[in-house]
Chain A
Amino acid sequence: MKFVKHSFLFSSLLLFLSGCSALPVLDPKGPVGEAQKDLIFWSIFLMLFVVMVVFVLFTIILVRYRERPGYDSHEPEEMEGNKWLELIWTGIPIIIVILLAVPTVRTIYQLEEPPQSTRDKEPLVIHATSANWKWFFSYPEQDIETVNYLHIPEDQPILFKLTSADSMAALWIPQLGGQEYNMAGMMTEIYLQADEPGVYDGRNANFTGEGFTEHTFKVYAQEEDEFDAWVEETRQEAPKLTQDKYDELLLPGHVETQAYSSTHLEYVNHAMDAEYTLKAYERQGYDPEKEGSH
């Protein structure tokens, strides 16, 4: 889709309006975010047209027919309606909706698949599991796991398999693309990809209670060989993730970034077992009834 001729103009306008702060959603670094940005600009363009039409009509009518000295005795005629006018303002919105619906549906389907630009590459699978209030990233093929940070290779599609150990969260890395929910007992999937190396902000976007605000992580997108080196290093140097350690990490709270040379998938896949966390609480004598109230 090449709707983006105007995008430079719009983005400079938007940046101007928002002061000096950057707008990561409109400054994507991957094909998913890019597709979404194109859609956003296309809709802003059409919607500005709608806004303009209404505002201009509104202003003209208000200025022209406002009661004022010299225009205060005129008795308006009654009007029932006007077939043609009403057809026009039903018809044009229908056309606008079609103009929006087509690219929307196309993009919805497109985002279900790995990005076109790297279709020859096998996607890297990462299980992203949310637990109150931390992130577990398991790399099953590499047999490593990180907590609260994420390394990915650039120019390779990443297939995130999302689930949650407890409350419903949402994985969101604005500069790479939109979010998707993590739900206990469910598995959702989302493709993301970074086109250039860099450090991106990621977070849980869906409210999960007390520690929600700091439920964040950093994404390190690296060139392929650097990424491989990082994987190798982690495999060599990081400790194994024992079940006891994992259970302990499931208790609500925040933890520092950590790395392990095995994954929690050996003990549980929360997408298959919604009850695991509550049982782990019980094993450790943690009672949310007592801790949760205030």
Chain B
Amino acid sequence: MAWDEFFVTGDPLIFGAQISIVLTIIGIVFVLTKYQKWTWLWKEWLTTVDHKKLGVMYIISAVLMLFRGGVDALLMRVQLTMPNAEFLDSTHYQEIFTTHGTIMIIFMAMPFLIGIMNIVVPLQIGARDVAFPFLNAVSFWTFFMGAMLFNISFVIGGSPSAGWTSYVPLAGDELSAGIGQNYYLLGLQISGIGTLLTGINFLVTILKMRAPGMTLMRMPMFTWSTAITCILIIFAFPVLTVALAMMTFDRLFGAHFFTLMDGGMPMLWANLFWIWGHPEVYIVIIPAFGIFSEVISTFSRKNLFGYKAMVYSMVVIAFLSFIVWVHHFFTMGAEASVNSFFSITTMAISIPTGVKIFNWLFTMYKGRIKINTAMLWALAFIPNFVIGGVTGVMLSMAAADYQYHNTYFLVSHFHYVLISGTVFACFAGLYYWYPKVFGHKLNEKLGKISFWLFVVGFNVCFFPMYFLGFAGMPRRVHTYTEESGWFDLNVVASIGALLMALGFMVFVYSIYYSIRYAERLTTGDPWDGRTLEWSTPSPVPYYNFAKVPEVHGLDPYWEMKKQGEAEFDVNQVELEPIHMPDNSAVPFIMSILFFIAGFGLVFEWMWMGIIGGIGVLITMIVRSFDPDEGYHVEVDEIKEIERKARRKEA
């Protein structure tokens, strides 16, 4: 293979990206070396098994991916602003919408939420870490390396271009040769390992490691949403794993699961993909529901209205999410009875979702609603998500869907639910829990500016798209003619996209600004919170709780404060040594080997795939015979740490 086949050449945009990647890497190496931070990086981050640090790394990666996916989106908007534009050619446009979709769902939305789960769930349930800290690090690093493998495709070898749904036969090697699709298969496969492990890890954590007294029905709503999400992950992700493996076998080893030749069944892919894919969209929305529940309850100074109904409605939504997948292809010509069944199951989801909306509204009812940036994101969620929801109901009507399918009406619908649901939740959660991790708030003024830019831009960008759908504009076209009548609305949409980009930039700046200038907190409870995470100092000591709290009801920390038992005096409580896990380099090294194996398979260099695969096995063996049992934090040390952390409170 010649070097100009290995690297993507001939496109000035991509050449610019290649140069900036090289410069960024040189810059990072330079800074790390100059300030002698290599050891710090290795000890504190690359080998850590601390759920809070892993959470932070998840969120940093997700914000980077939000940037990458956002740049993809802007490139598409530039191309679509004018009719007959030639800014991107059709192949390049298709690569961009494929990577945009895949990155935003798999490498942005999910890791962002998993990052928040990592930081919050153990703290909410009064645990010192997750059930399997080592596994948690494996989860993060396999996700990260999978994401990196997918991301380098646009500079090395070429990106996938068959859409994030990768329908066969288009995505098979009979019609779409070239290695782009292999990146999709292996990038998702490797990061999928991480997601599945996270599902198992957090479910066990929630089931086994709750503080004494915290029954299931006393768990905070975000913890409940995480538990349900984990169950969805455990049932849905194996389907993706198998489907990806089947297509990988088709493309790399000449199997015929989905091929045109020799009796392959292309439609099987569509079914498998959406049997995973529909629960997947609930994997990224249910934790969002959990985040909004916490934020709305805290800033209304009230407990959550209809707690039980909130739990049951999530369970119902999760169950229904497995029996609606056919609504993604009502137009496949299934029998009327099949389409009717899936129409009704899909509509039925609106019922528990409606229950949740009203419960949030009545949580605020007769409350005292404090409006800050975190709460603004949660408030904006309600009306915007309702718009996304009702258009979802419209799409669920199969006979009408024949007109909406594959159009901008659909594009608008899923951006409405995914952005106002998931993305708003990520922002709300970030503003809400950021002080817990870093010991200072994010700047409110900048936060509000970025909120308004983003939310107004979001509506300006996506609302016109419903009408583009009625105007007959299909998704995934790279340009259109003047006669089509789609010009005006596309201009409006592009202006909206620009506002969203500005909002994102202000958000990033607000983090930088707050790190430098924000006032340091003197309390672990800046919002007058209700759940256990606020009973710890901020930043949280690495062992979380010096003494595991006892729980007597919902919102335990709120109760403690009301009873006047919230003060934690190290000298008054009886402490025991705390057992903590040691750091480990194995997850990081294992994931690099996964990356090497994946990269080899992408290019069909089997020797490299085999070397990487053997390496992974060796790291597993090393881990299996590892006698390390962790260490104990002695009482004196705990007292010292707690005194330091809490002295500020006085």
Query: Residues on A close to B: CB < 8 A?
Result: 14, 17-26, 33, 35-36, 39-40, 43-44, 47, 50-51, 54-55, 57-58, 61-62, 65-67, 71-72, 74-82, 85-86, 89-90, 93-94, 97, 100-101, 104-105, 107-112, 132, 162, 166-168, 170, 172, 174, 177-181, 183-186, 188-190, 201, 203, 205-213, 274-275, 277-278, 288-294
Contact B472 A174 (CB under 8 A): yes
Residues of A close to B397: CB separation below 8 A = 39, 43, 100, 104, 107
Most B CB contacts (10 A, CB to CB) among A132, A181, A185 go to A181
Give B151-185 as 1s and 0s: 1 = Cβ < 8 Å from A's Cβ atoms: 00000001001110001011001111111000000
Does B33 count as interface, using CB distance less than 8 angstroms?
A: no
**Chain B positions 458 through 502: 1 when the CB is less than 8 Å from some CB of chain A, otherwise 0:** 000000100101111011111110000111110000000000000
Contact A288:B260 (CB < 8 A) given known A20-B488, A55-B383, A104-B343? no
| Contact flag A289-B173 (CB < 8 Å), given A61-B361, A100-B347, A184-B266 | yes
Report, nearest first, the 3 A-B pairs whose CB atoms are least far apart.
A178-B402, A188-B333, A21-B485
A92 closest partner in B (C-beta): B354
- A181→B489 CA distance, assembly (Å): 28
Given A76-B300, A292-B176: A209 in contact with B340 (beta carbons within 8 A)? no
Q: In the complex, what's the smallest C-beta–C-beta distance from B139 to chain A, in angstroms?
A: 32
Q: Complex Cα distance A93/B347, Å?
A: 10
Chain A nearest CB, measured from B218 CB (Å): 13
13 contacts between A and B (CB under 8 A): A18-B471, A47-B394, A54-B357, A55-B383, A80-B305, A81-B308, A86-B309, A109-B336, A132-B175, A172-B474, A209-B94, A275-B261, A293-B179
- B467 in contact with A67 (CB, 8 Å): no
In the bound assembly, the distance between CA atoms of A78 and B471 in angstroms comes to 49
Most chain B CB within 10 A, of A76, A80, A112, is at: A76
**Looking at the complex, which one of A18, A183, A190, A207 makes contact with B267 (CB distance below 8 Å)?**
A183
Give bound CA distance, A174 to B402, whole Å: 10
Chain B minimum-CB-distance residue to A28: B403
Most buried by B among A74, A111, A206: A206
B321 at the interface (CB under 8 A from A): no
A168 touches B406 (CB 8 A): no
Cβ contact within 8 Å between B407 and A209: no
Which partner residue on chain B sits nearest A168 by CB separation?
B167
Within 8 A of A (CB), among B312-370: 329, 331-333, 336, 339-340, 343-344, 347-348, 350-351, 354-355, 357-359, 361-362, 364-370
Chain A residues, CB < 8 A from B216: none
Contacts of B162 on A, CB cut-off 8 Å? 207, 209
Residues of B whose CB lies within 8 Å of any CB of A are 90-91, 94, 158, 161-163, 167, 169-170, 173-179, 260-262, 264, 266-267, 300-303, 305-309, 329, 331-333, 336, 339-340, 343-344, 347-348, 350-351, 354-355, 357-359, 361-362, 364-371, 379, 382-383, 386-387, 390-391, 393-394, 397-403, 405-407, 464, 467, 469-472, 474-480, 485-489
Q: Name the B residues within 8 Å of A57 (CB-CB).
A: 358, 361
In the complex, A288→B469 CA distance in Å?
33
Report the minimum CB–CB distance from A18 to chain B (whole Å).
4
CA distance A243 to B197 in the complex (A): 54
The answer to whether A292 touches B177, judged by C-beta atoms less than 8 angstroms apart, is yes
Q: Which residue in A36, A72, A210 is a CB contact (below 8 Å) of B399? A: A36
Q: With the chains together, A275 CA to B366 CA distance in Å?
A: 67
B407 and A54 within 8 A (CB): no
Q: Are A288 and B175 in contact (CB under 8 A)?
A: yes
Known: A89-B355, A190-B333. 17 other contacts (CB 8 A): A23-B470, A39-B399, A51-B386, A51-B390, A58-B383, A76-B366, A79-B362, A104-B398, A104-B399, A108-B399, A170-B405, A172-B474, A178-B405, A179-B403, A207-B162, A213-B477, A274-B261
Q: How many A-B residue pairs have CB under 8 A?
A: 303
- Min CB gap A43→B, angstroms: 5
B residues less than 8 Å from A76 (CB atoms) = 300-302, 366-368
Pairwise interchain contact B467-A14, C-beta atoms closer than 8 A: yes
Residue in A closest to B371 when the chains form the complex, CB atoms: A66
Q: Is the interface of B mostly helix, strand, loop or mixed?
A: helix
- A112: chain B residues at CB < 8 Å are 336
Given A54-B382, A109-B336, A77-B354 contact (CB < 8 Å) = no
Q: Are A78 and B369 in contact (CB under 8 A)?
A: no
Give Cα A35 to B370, complex, Å: 48
> Distance (Å) between the CB of B250 and the closest chain A CB?
14
Assuming the A-B contacts A77-B366, A278-B260, are A24 and B406 also in contact, with contact meaning beta carbons closer than 8 angstroms in the complex?
no
Chain B residue nearest to A279 (CB atoms) is: B261
Contacts of B364 in A (CB 8 A): 61-62, 65
Complex formed: what's the CA distance from A107 to B474 in Å?
23
Task: Give the shortest distance, in Å, between B550 (CB) and chain A (any CB).
Answer: 21
Determine the chain B residues whose CB is within 8 A of the CB of A166 once the complex forms: 169, 175, 260
Determine the chain B residues whose CB is within 8 A of the CB of A162 once the complex forms. Answer: 333
Q: Is the CB of A43 within 8 A of B394?
A: yes
CA gap between A111 and B382 in the complex, in Å: 36
Closest to B488 in A: A19
Chain A residue nearest in CB terms to B363: A79
> Within the assembled complex, what's the spacing in Å between the Cα atoms of A174 and B167?
23
Kindly identify which residue among B354, B369, B382, B464 contacts A89, using a CB–CB cutoff of 8 Å: B354
> What residues of chain A lie closer than 8 Å to B387, measured between beta carbons?
51
Contact between chains at B365 and A288 (CB < 8 Å): no
Chain A's closest residue to B270 (CB) is A168
Residues of chain B with a CB closer than 8 A to A23's CB: 467, 470-472
Residue of B nearest to A74 (CB): B368
User: Smallest distance from the beta carbon of B198 to chain A beta carbons, Å?
Assistant: 31
Most chain B Cβ neighbours within 10 Å, of A51, A104, A186:
A104
Q: Using CB atoms, name the residue of chain A closest to B361.
A: A57
Taking the nearest CB of chain A, how far is it from the CB of B171, in angstroms? 9
Q: CA–CA, A77 to B362, complex, Å?
A: 12
Interchain CB contact under 8 A, B303 and A101: no
Instruction: Give Cα distance in the complex from A200 to B301, angstroms.
Output: 58
Q: Are A212 and B169 in contact (CB under 8 A)?
A: no
Q: Which residue of B lies closest to A18 (CB)?
A: B467
- For A80, list chain B residues within 8 Å (CB): 303, 305-307
A105 / chain B contacts, CB cutoff of 8 Å: 336, 340, 343-344
Q: Are A67 and B369 in contact (CB under 8 A)?
A: yes
CB within 8 Å for A104 and B358 given contacts A74-B368, A207-B170, A213-B477 = no
Tell me, rounded to whole Å, the shortest Cβ–Cβ distance linking B562 to chain A. 10
Instruction: Determine if A18 and B489 form an interchain contact, defined as CB atoms under 8 angstroms apart.
Output: yes
Complex alpha-carbon distance, A203 and B245, angstroms: 34
> Closest CB of chain A to B622's CB: distance in Å?
39
How long is the Cα–Cα vector from A181 to B405 in the complex, in angstroms?
Answer: 11
Q: A180-B402, A188-B332, A207-B476 are in contact. Are A22 and B471 (CB under 8 A)?
A: yes
- Kindly state the separation between the CA atoms of A97 and B179 in the bound complex, as whole angstroms: 46
B331 pairs with A170, CB closer than 8 A: yes
Q: Assess whether A72 is in contact with B368, with CB atoms less than 8 Å apart.
A: yes
